[in-house]
Structure 1
């Protein structure tokens, strides 16, 4: 009866201690994330048709570009490094899953011990006899058996850690997808830049032919006393200037080719491309859909979403550290001071069962600091998530405006090139007939060259803008 009353008192004391600990656990409210986005982009009508759903193989039509992307997705070093990180996050799930299951170990142990005679254990052993013989000295001990330990996850701490690991893994997968999108975009950007440089080199070579012909005419006119040495010098200088530009472009081509080789994980080599078809490359219409689709299509937004989910669980884990932990440990096996007695049961049978309830009571500063840090990290994740959403919307809005304006700019540049190209022949005829001076011829040739190069740059910008809107909408990783 007395024992029953005593046990009841101890039980009540334990409950009171748990309630006291629970009441002392700090609580910190963290605001909810804002995922609101406008219904449309700029003044566009609502249309759910979205280019982001198109696979990159279908989005690009150039077989050389598709081949480069295929190679990069296999051999790019940064992407392969990222894949290993994803695999490590996956392994972390398995590790966390095992933590809330019982740990069972098998053991075999051999010991030897010699205690002093003038100690309690030594004096007792001196008086003991076993089978009419003195107590063995030194004392040996042999044991084999199983041991088990288990932390009862009553506060869901271990399960939340495992769920957080799952979200971290999913976040790493989205990070890999985002890297894939950027890699596809960067290769396409660099490929079109390389094609643009090839076309610029062709334009400079054509312009050099025109200027060399003009220089020949000026020399003949000087011989006929129709012009001066100054005109000849100016045309020579212009030829030299364009030869210098030619070598600059050739160096840029080498660097750009090497960049593509680096992205594809290959040694420096010639990059096959369709430069002759650059200015006639068709630019397909892109469909932006509605802004809310960004939350599902953009890998960086989904990565931020999973990181936020993981941070919420980590906050719960940090809060659970204030509660007492319940551990159960047990062991069963055979133990004897001589190996021949190990199989003598039940005399050699040994077992144990221990239950522990341990909770922090005084000096919990480290736990409080960890909880505050987890709350701050959760708030950080909220800001990161909201920033990713806002950044995605602005990127798409900018690219839609860019595509619209570049189309107008290209048409105007094409008209300018057509006029200036005709002006070159006209200025040359007028110069031959002494109705225009050499400066007008030089200026016309220079303006025509600049306009042609600007037209090529505008075409490149159009192609890159089309890639960027595809990436901004969340395409390129499927």
Structure 2
């Protein structure tokens, strides 16, 4: 048998032995999740989805448009995400350089003076550099060389590591898209909340003026002995109670304005808005599309999918660490004891070699890294499935929220209209001594509470309009 054949047999035998020593991994795999064919909220299958609408078309308030545009330009979290993308991009370049040859220039300078009564010193005493010229003492050592090294990627380990870095880079881009979706939704939700608080404050102030007018009438009647001090005190107490409600609302307005300014990346300042449009904002005709479209519209789903693919490649890289690594080394240069001899052809030196390195004593560390890579792949798969479940549930919840609060808002409007009319009727009956003052107080209180609930119901309906747009994956395009 020739030496070449023997070397091949030894090489393949070692590879089989190393592959047989791979640690066993858990065989359990999470169940595959398949999205339903359509949302439960829709009877017919419809591919139209508001997620494809640009946020400037979905939200038709020009003041809100200005706020969102400023947030997209100046929000600090988005700038941090951009730097994370740059970091991941640099990691791709670093991985790419790992499977390319390394070439460097090496310059050496040394000085050597062995002892005379040593082997090297004794040899120098009897050697001549040239006829009649002895070795210089001390002896200089000058070298200039180009050196190269290259790990041959025979198992595709380095290329798979680079592909994993590319996938992680793409995942950070999808992560930023998801941040844009969240930012647009948060700005819109805060803006609608601010409009609701403005209308709430207006209702409280209007009722305060109404109750103050009624209180003045009761005080005059008390002066004319037509009402008691008890009635005056009860009307005044309710008037003060209603007046006190506005201070909490004003505090909420300040906090909401500050939160909006923070999202816009600026110091607190007044937020321009038109509160009179609050009750006219439409929350109808919201199309959800099909669940399968979430895979393309939801950036967090795409991010989880890319992370899953990257984890699979990292498992392949961890497995390849068990196999031998082939490294080639080469060098070409010149070496002499004096500068004038560096360009002499006799000073030229070169070298070429290769080495095959297989792990033997450090296998526990490699095996641990392999098991960890497998566990991380399992985690990535579970996260992907969890993201799918979360996305589907969010759409269903927000659709139900919109439908329920839309119906609640219609009935609440009728209730407010009736109670507003009842307040005027109760005041007239009280002046005609045909109703007790307690009936007037209760009617005023009920009317105020229902008006407040009407604003809150509308605010929840608009919050549903925002969150379903976010749940469907809108806002980042």
Partner in structure 1 of residue 69 of structure 2: 70
1:90, CA displacement in angstroms? 1.1
SS in structure 2 at match of 1:279: helix
> Which runs of structure 2 are paired with 1:46-125 in the superposition (5 Å)?
46-125=45-124
Task: Structure 2: state its 5+ residue gaps.
Answer: none
1:135, CA displacement in angstroms? 1.9
Partner in structure 2 of residue 415 of structure 1: 414
SS in structure 1 at match of 2:280: coil
SS in structure 2 at match of 1:385: helix
Partner in structure 1 of residue 20 of structure 2: 23
Matched-pair contact (CA < 8 Å) for 1:325–1:359: yes
Task: Structure 1: state its 5+ residue gaps.
Answer: none
CA distance change for structure 1 residues 451 and 50 in 2, over 3 Å: closer, same or farther?
same
1:107, CA displacement in angstroms? 2.2
Partner in structure 2 of residue 182 of structure 1: 182
Deviates more, 1:22-31 or 1:441-450: 22-31
Partner in structure 2 of residue 144 of structure 1: 144
1:35, CA displacement in angstroms? 3.8
1:7, CA displacement in angstroms? 5.2
Q: Cα deviation per residue 1:157-199 (whole Å; 9 max; x = unaligned)?
A: 0000000001101111111000100000000000000000100
Normalization by structure 2: what TM-score? 0.96
Q: Cα deviation per residue 1:198-222 (whole Å; 9 max; x = unaligned)?
A: 0011101100001101110111121
* 1:366 maps onto 2:369 in alignment: no
1:137, CA displacement in angstroms? 2.2
Partner in structure 1 of residue 306 of structure 2: 306
RMSD between superposed Cα atoms in Å? 1.5
In 1, the alpha carbon distance for the partners of 2:341 and 2:364 equals 52
Partner in structure 2 of residue 216 of structure 1: 216
Deviates more, 1:79-88 or 1:236-245: 236-245
Partner in structure 2 of residue 404 of structure 1: 403
SS in structure 1 at match of 2:279: coil
In 2, the alpha carbon distance for the partners of 1:207 and 1:245 equals 11
1:409, CA displacement in angstroms? 0.2
> Which runs of structure 2 are paired with 1:381-396 in the superposition (5 Å)?
381-396=380-395
Normalization by structure 1: what TM-score? 0.96
1:80, CA displacement in angstroms? 0.6
1:30, CA displacement in angstroms? 6.2
> How many residues matched?
474
Partner in structure 1 of residue 36 of structure 2: 38
In 1, the alpha carbon distance for the partners of 2:31 and 2:120 equals 66
In 1, the alpha carbon distance for the partners of 2:197 and 2:370 equals 56
In 1, the alpha carbon distance for the partners of 2:19 and 2:68 equals 57
Partner in structure 1 of residue 202 of structure 2: 202
SS in structure 1 at match of 2:419: helix
Partner in structure 2 of residue 225 of structure 1: 225
